[in-house]
């Protein structure tokens, strides 16, 4: 359990250090504030470590359940970041009969069961979080709509294991963090959807020119640093 607490702390600290994905910080702050009221209902947090293929369920800050999972495979990663359960529904047998949908803006992602039990513990899905069917049924009963979900993969918050080049067409938590930063700096007015499209491309070009960089579609390490992002050590 100490390792889990450390992982949660590193996840949150890294977000503050890089001033990225403010929605993650806001969601967690709301979670903590809500717990201060003795009259509130129990508050749950689903914390998912992609690297360890483990889902932790926290109740009022204490881990009460651990489940093994399967995550997104290469080229179809699970969405790193902080989300909420926005839908609960009964799905077909192939999805273990239960679906907890997440409010990820760049695609349809959720937590569900599977008939492919052998895939649990590996990177095998199209980005969703797979669980054993009996486990997702239990999780489904426990958590309400609105439950916070934190998905991490490495120590760099929305950037997983570090910065990588981003090109038009890319989507994910790192793109969303850049959109937030460009909006803060006054360059981007488009949708905060985690998708690198034409309007974001214009904002990137303008930012690069204003900061003495060559205007190009690729967001590389030099552009990351000019935006104020730093690797967390």
Q: What is the CATH number of the domain that holds 65?
A: 2.40.440.10
Average pLDDT over residues 144-167: 81
CA distances in angstroms from 42 to 37, 62, 162, listed in the order given: 10, 11, 35
**What are the residues facing 70 on neighbouring strands?**
130
Query: Residue 144 domain-assigned?
Result: yes
Give the structural domain span for 179.
163-226
229: pLDDT strictly greater than 90? no
pLDDT for 215 equals: 95
Contact between residue 44 and residue 34 where contact means Cβ atoms under 8 Å apart: no
3-state secondary structure of 44: strand
Spatial distance between the Cα atoms of 201 and 197, rounded to a whole number of angstroms: 6
172 and 153 co-located in one domain = no
58 and 170 co-located in one domain = no
Count of structural domains, the chain: 2
The strand pair at 44-49 and 54-59 is best described as antiparallel
Tens of pLDDT along 21-31? 344 444 444 54
130 and 86 co-located in one domain = yes
Torsion of CA 197, 199, 204, 206, to 10 degrees: 160
pTM of the predicted model as reported, rounded to 2 decimal places: 0.70
117: pLDDT strictly greater than 50? yes
Contact between residue 100 and residue 87 where contact means Cβ atoms under 8 Å apart: yes
Tens of pLDDT along 36-95? 554 567 899 999 999 899 999 999 889 999 999 999 887 788 998 889 999 999 876 667
Residues written for the chain: 233
139 and 180 co-located in one domain = no
Q: Report the b/e string of 33-52 with b at 16+ CB within 10 A.
A: eeeeeeeeeebbbbbbbbeb
106: pLDDT strictly greater than 80? yes
Spatial distance between the Cα atoms of 49 and 98, rounded to a whole number of angstroms: 21
Domain end (from 110, 133, 157): 157
CA nearest neighbour of 156 among 75, 81, 76, 61: 81
């Amino acid at each position: 359990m100490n390792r889990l607490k450390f992982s949660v702390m590193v996840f949150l600290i890294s977000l503050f250090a890089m001033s990225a994905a403010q929605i993650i910080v806001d969601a967690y702050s709301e979670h903590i504030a809500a717990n201060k009221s003795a009259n509130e209902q129990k508050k749950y947090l689903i914390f998912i470590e992609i690297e360890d293929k483990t889902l932790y369920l926290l109740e009022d800050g204490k881990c009460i359940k651990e489940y093994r999972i399967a995550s997104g495979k290469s080229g179809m990663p699970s969405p790193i970041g902080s989300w909420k359960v926005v839908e609960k529904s009964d799905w077909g047998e192939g999805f273990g009969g239960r679906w907890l949908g997440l409010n990820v803006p760049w695609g349809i992602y959720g937590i569900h069961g599977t008939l492919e039990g052998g895939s649990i513990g590996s990177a095998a899905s199209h980005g969703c979080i797979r669980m054993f069917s009996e486990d997702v049924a239990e999780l489904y009963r426990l958590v309400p709509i609105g439950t916070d979900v934190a998905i991490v993969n490495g120590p760099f918050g929305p950037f997983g294991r570090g910065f990588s080049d981003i090109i038009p067409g890319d989507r994910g938590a790192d793109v969303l963090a850049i959109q937030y930063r460009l909006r803060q700096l006054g360059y981007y007015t488009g949708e905060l959807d985690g998708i690198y499209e034409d309007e974001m491309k214009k904002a990137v070009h303008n930012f690069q020119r204003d900061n003495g960089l060559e205007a190009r579609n690729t967001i590389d390490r030099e552009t990351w640093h000019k935006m104020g992002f730093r690797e967390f050590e």
